[in-house]
Structure 1
Amino acid sequence: MQKGIHPEDYKLVAFKDMSNDEIFITKSTANTKETIDVDGTEYPLIKLEISRTSHPFYTGTSKLIDTAGRIDKFKNKYKKFDKKA
């Protein structure tokens, strides 16, 4: 391994999955201005849209998230090709 290319300023950081409010703490070099209090200890906070606690690959379940009606737009656009209709 080459010397001097890896960061050495690791610190405990709280990562929060915004889709299910799950928080996990791990070491990271990521910088943030936000903090969160977890069990009486304040940690820097990194917000995630999806993590291992909400990703369908890891959970084994599919969660449908409709943003701005995209699913409805798609269904309306392609309903003429539906074999059931």
Structure 2
Amino acid sequence: MAQDNPDYRPVVFRDKAAGYAFLTRSTARTDATIEWDDGETYPVVDVEISAESHPFYTGKARTVDTEGRVAAFERRYGKDEG
């Protein structure tokens, strides 16, 4: 039995954390719609995070002080001189 491929169509992805949306093509399914800048109505998928709000892409990522954490661990639990 032949299986139908999902519809590949224009879809808006909206990052609510950043207040940012972009139009692309996708097979994502949703019942929600949004009127886009071109006056057309497209399906919209709300996402928690995107490149617009992710700390890695925005440059707001925290660096982890691994040396400080190791030193704190050794102070707390003692360094094994073994």
How does the TM-score come out when normalised to structure 1? Answer: 0.62
Residue 17 of structure 2 corresponds to 19
Q: Distance in 2 between matches of 1:59 and 1:27?
A: 24
Alignment counterpart, residue 28 of structure 2, candidates 27, 30, 55: 30
1:24 is paired with a residue whose SS is: strand
**Aligned pairs (5 A) from 1:68-79:** none
Residue 60 of structure 1 corresponds to 59
2:14 is paired with a residue whose SS is: strand
Residue 45 of structure 2 corresponds to 46
- 1:52 deviates by 0.5
Q: Which has the larger radius of gyration?
A: 2
Q: Distance in 2 between matches of 1:15 and 1:26?
A: 8
2:41 is paired with a residue whose SS is: strand
Provide structure 2 residue ranges, at least 5 long, that are not aligned to the other structure: 62-82
Q: Which amino acid aligns with 2:47?
A: L
Residue identity (%): 47
Q: Distance in 2 between matches of 1:34 and 1:21?
A: 17
The size of the alignment, in residue pairs, is 61
Provide structure 1 residue ranges, at least 5 long, that are not aligned to the other structure: 63-85
Q: Which contiguous aligned blocks of 4+ residues in structure 1 show a shift greater than 2 angstroms? A: none
